[in-house]
A and B are shown apart, each in its own frame.
Chain A
Amino acid sequence: MYTHPSPSSYTASVLTRVLAGLDAAGHDVDLLDLYAIGFDPMLCAEERFRSGDDPATSPMVQSHIALVRAATAVVFVHPTWWSGPPAMLKGWIDRVFVADVVYAVGPSGRMRSGLRHIRYLVVVTSHGSAKHVNMIEGESGKLLFGRSIRRLISLRGRFRWIALYNIDRSTPAQRQAHLAHVEATMTRL
């Protein structure tokens, strides 16, 4: 899940290394580049109140739901803005992680998470400000992935948070080192 408006951004370089790492490890990868495909991040009234297989959801959202249901790992690559994911990605979560996807009826007939097939939840992100500033601001993005979504994945699933802080004052060497760290981590996933 890649989100950045500029193809020349640092986040674009991060994506290249994420894909290289996953490829080296031999994983099958589906890439969604939300800006490139012109995703509409506005959850609409019909979707808010849909249930069952209501066709109000767009064909694009339906295809993304199918990708989520088929995936055993979901990797998010984006900058952190206002202590969370960009609006484009928040809107994707609002529209794709709807009740039908997130909840399912389990073998016992009781409601259970519909995302238990996901074994790895990985977020690769960068912050303009330092770690301590993010802690004061509240780190809402880390909480969204690390708590709200993490509690729905496989009970033996793993959550990885790979973040570069203080990017506004980082050196080229630090940014290069982080790219190498990202690729190595994805290779060992």
Chain B
Amino acid sequence: MRALVIHAHPVDDGYSAALFSTAVSALQRAGHEVRSHQLYQEGFAAAMSPAEHHAYHTDRPIISDEIQHHVDDLQWADVLVFVYPTWWAGLPAVLKGWLERVMVPGVAFAFDEKSGKVKPNLRNIQHLVGITTYGSAHWSNWLTGDGGRRTTMRALRMLCPLRARRHWFGLYKMDTCTDNDRAAFLERVAAGVRAL
């Protein structure tokens, strides 16, 4: 299969980067082709610009080569993998901005002219994979609703084919867990990704 891995963390050599490289190498070892984007390191802008917002509802919502490159990778992929820390129960701004700027009309979905409804358009995606770390405990995230997981696993799932499968990997209490917990989570991610 063909996998696109999106990583969002400002630290180049931290635990999140280790999760990213673990996922990439596990995919490659399983024989999949991999393309990846590290949004912070690429200098990807989080906020949709006024010009992009203006273009959003026109026939040509993509106005830069940079975004077109991301769109090409998204449409090339069968597997979409997100690696990010959960901040304020959700996605880091740059990953939220990636959804807003890359998943524009005609890419992730299409507006049906007659009904005005949104039609799914991520036709090629077979697997949605989320890999994240949480500062707080599992019960705490359950109480506050786990918004990031909802966005990547539910809102995005609605735009994928019915056969698409979801895979979720979460490490809780990131700030107080042990080195063993962290190592075990890397193992779990590698095994889970290899088994796709």
Contact = CB atoms under 8 A, between A and B. Distances in A.
Interface of A: 5-6, 35, 41-45, 48, 81-84, 86-88, 90-91, 93-94, 97, 128-129, 133, 136-141, 143-144, 147-149, 151, 168-169
Contacts of B97: 41, 87-88, 91
B100 A82 contact: yes
Interface of B: 10-11, 40, 46-50, 52-54, 87-94, 96-97, 99-100, 103, 111, 116, 118, 143-145, 147-148, 150-151, 154-155, 158
A121 to B, nearest CB: 14
Contacts, number: 131
Give the interface centre of A43, A44, A97, A139 by most chain B CB atoms within 10 Å. A43
A147 B154 contact: no
A29 to B, nearest CB: 24
Nearest to B54: A6
A87 B151 contact: no
Contact of A147 (B46, B92, B116, B144): B144
B158 A42 contact: no
Contacts of A84: 90-91, 96, 147, 151
Given A93-B88, A129-B118, 16 more contacts: A41-B47, A45-B10, A82-B100, A82-B151, A83-B151, A84-B96, A90-B90, A91-B92, A94-B93, A133-B118, A140-B151, A141-B147, A143-B89, A144-B88, A168-B111, A169-B116
| Complex A-B, nearest 10 residue pairs according to Cβ-Cβ distance, in ascending order | A138-B150, A140-B147, A91-B93, A87-B97, A143-B145, A137-B155, A88-B47, A45-B10, A5-B50, A87-B96
B38 to A, nearest CB: 13
A87 B145 contact: no
Contacts of B143: 147
Given A43-B10, A48-B10, A168-B116, A87 B53 contact: no
Contact of B90 (A43, A45, A140): A140
Given A45-B10, A143-B89, A86 B155 contact: no
B122 to A, nearest CB: 13
B54 A137 contact: no
A143 B147 contact: yes
Give the interface centre of B96, B148, B154 by most chain A CB atoms within 10 Å. B96
A81 B100 contact: yes
Contacts of A41: 46-47, 93-94, 97
Contact of B49 (A5, A81, A136): A5
A91 B89 CA distance: 13
